[in-house]
Structure 1
Amino acid sequence: MPGHRTLRTVPPSWRRPLAAAAALPLLALAAPAAQAEPEAGDARVWLVEFAEGADASVLDAAPGLDFEVRHDFERIWNGVSVEADPATARRLAQFGHVERVWSDVVFTGPAAVADDGPVPELAQAIQTTRADVAHGRGVTGEGVKVGVIDTGIDYTHPDLGGCFGSGCRVAYGADFVGDDFDSDDPELSEPSPDDDPADCGGHGTHVAGIVGADGEVTGVAPDATFGAYKVFGCEGSTSAEVIMQALEAALDDGMDVVNLSLGQSFQWPGYPTAKAADRLTEEGVVVVASMGNDGEHGVYSGSAPGVGEDVIAVASTDNPAQRMDAAYVPALDRRIGYRPIDASPDPEAGTATDPLAWLGRACADDASESDVAGKAALVVRGTCTFDEKYRRAVAEGATSVVVYNDRPGPFGGGGVEDPAVPVIAVTDADGKDLHDLVSIGEAPVLEFTGETVLVDLPRGGLASGFTAYGPAPDLTFKPDLAAPGGGVWSTVPVADGSYASLSGTSMSSPHVAGAAALLLDAEPRLAPREVRTRLANAAKPVPWGDNPDLGELEAAHRQGTGVVDIVDALDARACLHPTGVNTGHGTGPRTFELTLTSRDEAVRDYTLTHRSTIATTGDDRDPGFHAAEPAVTFEPKEIRLHPGQTATVEVTVEPSADLPLGSVFGGRITARPDAGGESLTAAYSGYHGDYLAIPILEHPELPKLAAIVAQDPETHEFEYRDLAADESFSLADGPDLAALLYLGHQPAAMEVSAANAETGEVVDWEPEAFLPRSPGPDDAMGIHLEDLIAQRPGALEAGRWTLTVRVLKALGDESDPAHWEQWTSPEFTLTA
């Protein structure tokens, strides 16, 4: 009997959707969904990119083709969106002035926000970036317009102005989709736009509060004006087409800064949303975007549009502490923070737990450590599920359950089904203190105060565990810089409790968008490149937290130049450009130039210094780490700059002989003024070894052919089985055959063809370009035969066939056969 296996599979066109790629907006721990694929032959949306110098008129020469032009993006991207079936899209791709036809990729929607208590605070994060000091100088973002492309904004929130339209804080915007829109659901995938950008999802309101709330919460730029561009319904997903329409509207409305707390993971700078964002910068708009939340998936995990060449991609660091609901413990004479496990009843203010008793780990087979009947059960996290611990405690008579962390810091979670009594989570430190009291015969209680307390985060000031690694697949230096994104308290819709603490690069990006608004308040004539340069130059380094004793810095391709320092950016007397350098690949030394430009009124001397950052040394998904100082020389090392003068420094970096091949390494270069003042920093990264040697199709079980069993209607994941001996597939009844691939690295292109084993006839499909990689070992790409047939109806006939897949290495030359990998399937039989 052939074996069954459920696999996640990736978009678009003749490729099946990825269930575990990036989530949009980029909320840490938000569960991503997959793209619902239309039936073979159904019309869908495509993005048609024109060659340089061509425009939409080239499609006038397409008589007889059944397609509809939906939107012309001529101002922000040289192309249009069209509605057509796959076969028509393939024919459009063959037009001489069409550069490429892209499938309109689905961007997954945000998770529901949580209400973490009534006491608002954003002060910690703006103190980290020193926005509060800028406010003291009167720099507040007044007169600067910031567009938020997200789930909308609850403009009724008092911290965001309380109204919408002329004279309000939220003065511009529109809803591009309608509340019921979900591009992942065929029945809800047609937008119903209107003029009201009210937020029914919550994410955009939280982002806007970080940019510029002014009330109970103070954001980075509290006097900035907002544009609210709603691209998500209340739930579900959106599309690249919609995001690009919002970018266009932000340009038309005269936004000075645009924030995109969203992204498509594992993407290339050439993807349409990234190129459209780049075009906005050419028009004078500062574009800021999340780097992504796929840090657990290793290097090259950044998102589009953040990986766009001119976009400011923002990584996340954890806040020093996170605000949580408070419980007073009389036996400790202090308050501790707690978080209800999802679905748990919230403890009522003014109530208390029964005395605590130690139950232990509380998994099904564990011995009970003590009698918890009529008491609150204290248990430790780990080994089994929260639901199992809860049911064990309740079965033994516990009146509530307190779970403490088995690793540093606070935590949350879910999975407890229909809990009848409260289940709360506390930190490891507080849990151990409670356990110590119980172990000496005390029976502490927790008194729920209805207030909140700040709880220290173990990675405060360090890179958030979720923040994505660069560089981009073409080795472009990314991210550009970092800001607080882990544990940020900000506004949410009034109906959802007004304030909440959320985590993600969705939260770090608006810090930088607000910082850009402060710079433009102080110096309105700064161009987007100058804004990025000033912010990146002033950023402060992030320590590497995995082994603090080594004293290393976080990887440059994870922190950029570091955490934004708004005051130093405002006060900088010179600029160092470019701020992020791709040194390429190879094993020898690399040389590049940096330009130092004075904006001072006095002569100033600078000395160039270097500090290496931790290198990632493993494969794409399991980075591994290595500390190895490269040899770095400067020519010249010391520079005297007169007012307005520009000088060029030649930098040579030679990787350490101890650095393993296949590593991504990097460092920080700082121009330090000898007489005091603001230092200026740039960063670089590079690949040590032959980048073209990274395998793409290598996997112990894949590629292979498989039969499609079913598709999960909620997750859209497909279930496959191995082929039976001599199995055939009917063309008339709809083939259910797939080629399953594992992409170990991002291919620059993919070609698929079928060959008739009897006649030698070869059928080719239109190549795909700039593909994402597989995030993890269970994330396969499924090339479904029914989708290939939909692109070329009638091209395959009854007989014995093979499929061939060719992938072009990242940075590969398509004319060089050595830069391609190829797999040809075993023969399979198609019947009439």
Structure 2
Amino acid sequence: MFGYSSVVEDLVIEKLLSSNGEHIPVIITGDGCQCDDLEKCVQDLGGVVKHKLPLINAVAAYIPPVGVRSVARERAVSKVLFDDMVFKLMDIASVTVAADYANEHGLTGKGVTVAVVDSGVYPHSDLTTPTNRIIGFVDFVNKKNTPYDDDGHGTHVAGIVAGNGFASTGKYMGIAPDANIVGVKVLNKDGGGSISDVIAGVQWVVDNKNRYNIKVMTMSLGTKAKSSYREDPLCKAVDSAAAQGITVVVAAGNSGPDTSTINSPAISPNIIAVGACNDRTASNPKNCKIADFSSRGPTPDGIHKPDILAPGVDINSLSNKDNGYRSLSGTSMATPIVAGCAALLYENNPRLTPQETKNLMIKNSVGLGYGPDVEGSGLIDIKRMIDTTNPTPQPRPPQQNPENKNQGSKNFFSIFDGWLWVMVIVLLILII
């Protein structure tokens, strides 16, 4: 019925056939052309460009149904994809997440910035006191200039990464309590957003990574994987970010225990896909159970996923109201735990690459016996990872007290006095 199926995604064709003439949200990728050329093409067809996405050489646009057919005929257009929705990935519950062992070893994420691509970040006191560590904010939903979060999901994620426990006197502390946060709002007040807004957010992170020293990007969101990661626009975006030195950590999804349920962009082999386990009743890490909701692999490309597990059941973190706290569950909560660990690794060694960071986590994980399409390499082990990269605490040099200082002076003058007497004796001998 439609002769351009190799160019136009099936979902676009479905929307086209059921359309009543309304504009269709699409992402148009180009081959051998620039975003400006794609923008002109859209405008010539009566469409409206929403975002220019040079990160993946594409534009997001609203085009009329007849425009879909026309744009598919353009030689420079490689793919027309539906600009589908992405959603936060969570369930609800309660627990404390801390990183005392890492903190005792001098690793707190200080100087490292984590970009939280989510529903925004509320300026909770755990992120702003005694120093405001929300050092950047951009809003692709409502275009506001100051940090806020009308859903609360992004604030909870940011707290797991970098909350310092100020409002709870240290009880609810994140993994990297001295790390900086950049909020990138791409989800609305209901926790949903378009693929193109997410890609625009990733683009912004890449463009501003040097300005804010962004080393890690955490994304507790996703959409159903419909194709190979090589063709998926979200995967193309996060792959570009990883290629430019940003460790990208993504939630695997909450569609378990069914197989082949890993979401996009977690299906990409170039990022860290995080599944969730329940450590609340485990006597030790090896006894942790996989969370039923945690998505399983393999991916459409046959890749084993997730890459790693982290606690994701009953995680207590920041609320977007009154500097309070609340508990949530999901791979959304497991993901920032891994992102916080990445910040610790970058503090310890700023020269790490995203692949080296991923390898360190995988190498130091604890297998739970579920297999690679359920647990990946296993449960992330913060202690083992820190012991590998920074095996012993670095004690501060002891400060000298006044007695020590005086003793040092006495020793100096004692030596000086000894040489003085030798010189006197030599002079006497010469005179005689």
Q: Smaller-chain TM-score range?
A: 0.7 to 0.9
Whether 2:27 is the aligned partner of 1:13: answer no
Correspondent of 2:135 among 147, 171, 184:
171
How far the C-alpha of 1:480 sits from its partner, in A, is 0.8
Kept in 1: contact 2:249–2:271 (CA 8 A): yes
Whether 2:274 is the aligned partner of 1:314: answer yes
Kept in 2: contact 1:492–1:498 (CA 8 A): yes
Distance of 2:10 and 2:88 partners within structure 1: 16
Kept in 2: contact 1:110–1:203 (CA 8 A): no
Correspondent of 1:252 among 207, 211, 227:
207
Instruction: Give the match for residue 300 of structure 1.
Output: 260
Distance of 2:90 and 2:109 partners within structure 1: 30
3-state DSSP of counterpart to 2:13: coil
Instruction: Give the match for residue 340 of structure 2.
Output: 514
Instruction: Give the match for residue 410 of structure 1.
Output: none
How far the C-alpha of 1:194 sits from its partner, in A, is 1.8
Instruction: Give the match for residue 359 of structure 2.
Output: 533
Correspondent of 2:186 among 220, 231, 249:
231
Q: 1:137 to 1:62 in 2, by over 3 A?
A: closer
Kept in 2: contact 1:289–1:313 (CA 8 A): yes
Instruction: Give the match for residue 486 of structure 1.
Output: 313
Q: 1:491 to 1:227 in 2, by over 3 A?
A: same
How far the C-alpha of 1:162 sits from its partner, in A, is 4.9
Kept in 1: contact 2:89–2:331 (CA 8 A): no
Distance of 1:112 and 1:472 partners within structure 2: 23
CA deviation profile, 1:242-280 (whole Å, cap 9, x unmatched) = 111111122223121000001112444231111101100
| Letter aligned with residue 134 of structure 2 | V
Instruction: Give the match for residue 154 of structure 1.
Output: 122
Whether 2:64 is the aligned partner of 1:85: answer yes
| Letter aligned with residue 203 of structure 2 | E
CA deviation profile, 1:704-760 (whole Å, cap 9, x unmatched) = xxxxxxxxxxxxxxxxxxxxxxxxxxxxxxxxxxxxxxxxxxxxxxxxxxxxxxxxx
Distance of 2:266 and 2:88 partners within structure 1: 17
Instruction: Give the match for residue 48 of structure 1.
Output: 28
CA deviation profile, 1:275-312 (whole Å, cap 9, x unmatched) = 1011000111110000000003x111000111122111
| Letter aligned with residue 89 of structure 1 | V
Q: 1:57 to 1:202 in 2, by over 3 A?
A: closer
3-state DSSP of counterpart to 1:563: coil
Distance of 1:494 and 1:62 partners within structure 2: 42
Aligned residues: 368
Q: 1:507 to 1:111 in 2, by over 3 A?
A: closer
Distance of 1:473 and 1:527 partners within structure 2: 26
Q: Which has the higher contact order (CA 8 A, sep 6+)?
A: 2
Distance of 1:212 and 1:38 partners within structure 2: 46
Instruction: Give the match for residue 417 of structure 2.
Output: none
Correspondent of 2:96 among 122, 130, 135:
122
Distance of 1:132 and 1:38 partners within structure 2: 56
Distance of 1:109 and 1:516 partners within structure 2: 21
How far the C-alpha of 1:16 sits from its partner, in A, is 5.8
Kept in 2: contact 1:522–1:570 (CA 8 A): no
Kept in 2: contact 1:540–1:565 (CA 8 A): yes
Instruction: Give the match for residue 373 of structure 2.
Output: 557
Kept in 2: contact 1:247–1:277 (CA 8 A): yes
Instruction: Give the match for residue 464 of structure 1.
Output: 291
Distance of 1:176 and 1:162 partners within structure 2: 26
Kept in 1: contact 2:91–2:330 (CA 8 A): no
Distance of 1:110 and 1:505 partners within structure 2: 6
1:688-767 matched pairs, under 5 angstroms = none
3-state DSSP of counterpart to 1:140: coil
| Letter aligned with residue 90 of structure 1 | R
Kept in 1: contact 2:92–2:329 (CA 8 A): no
How far the C-alpha of 1:39 sits from its partner, in A, is 4.7
Distance of 1:80 and 1:538 partners within structure 2: 40
How far the C-alpha of 1:102 sits from its partner, in A, is 0.5
- For structure 1, the 5+ residue unaligned runs are 1-9, 18-36, 179-192, 323-455, 543-552, 574-832
3-state DSSP of counterpart to 2:187: coil
Instruction: Give the match for residue 399 of structure 2.
Output: none
Whether 2:239 is the aligned partner of 1:278: answer yes
| Letter aligned with residue 308 of structure 2 | L
Correspondent of 1:96 among 75, 88, 91:
75
How far the C-alpha of 1:567 sits from its partner, in A, is 3.3
Distance of 1:299 and 1:135 partners within structure 2: 37
User: When you count strand as a share of all residues, which structure comes out higher?
Assistant: 1
CA RMSD of aligned residues (A): 2.8
Distance of 2:42 and 2:196 partners within structure 1: 22
Distance of 1:113 and 1:485 partners within structure 2: 10
1:773-812 matched pairs, under 5 angstroms = none
Instruction: Give the match for residue 164 of structure 2.
Output: 214
Instruction: Give the match for residue 410 of structure 2.
Output: none
3-state DSSP of counterpart to 2:67: helix
Kept in 2: contact 1:110–1:235 (CA 8 A): no
Kept in 1: contact 2:254–2:295 (CA 8 A): yes
CA deviation profile, 1:187-209 (whole Å, cap 9, x unmatched) = xxxxxx12123012111111111
Kept in 1: contact 2:42–2:48 (CA 8 A): no
| Letter aligned with residue 221 of structure 1 | A
| Letter aligned with residue 260 of structure 1 | M
- For structure 2, the 5+ residue unaligned runs are 1-8, 390-432
3-state DSSP of counterpart to 2:203: helix
Distance of 2:287 and 2:152 partners within structure 1: 25
Distance of 1:177 and 1:539 partners within structure 2: 37
CA deviation profile, 1:10-69 (whole Å, cap 9, x unmatched) = 98323369xxxxxxxxxxxxxxxxxxx995221132111112x43224434678521233
3-state DSSP of counterpart to 1:14: helix
Distance of 2:148 and 2:81 partners within structure 1: 31
Distance of 1:69 and 1:63 partners within structure 2: 7
1:418-437 matched pairs, under 5 angstroms = none
User: When you count helix as a share of all residues, which structure comes out higher?
Assistant: 2
Instruction: Give the match for residue 48 of structure 2.
Output: 68
3-state DSSP of counterpart to 2:270: coil
Distance of 1:571 and 1:67 partners within structure 2: 56
Give % identity: 31
Distance of 1:519 and 1:111 partners within structure 2: 26
| Letter aligned with residue 312 of structure 1 | I
CA deviation profile, 1:496-528 (whole Å, cap 9, x unmatched) = x71122110000000110010000000001011
Q: 1:101 to 1:516 in 2, by over 3 A?
A: same
Distance of 1:504 and 1:488 partners within structure 2: 9
Kept in 2: contact 1:159–1:209 (CA 8 A): yes
3-state DSSP of counterpart to 1:490: strand
Instruction: Give the match for residue 222 of structure 2.
Output: 263
Distance of 1:502 and 1:460 partners within structure 2: 22
Instruction: Give the match for residue 414 of structure 2.
Output: none
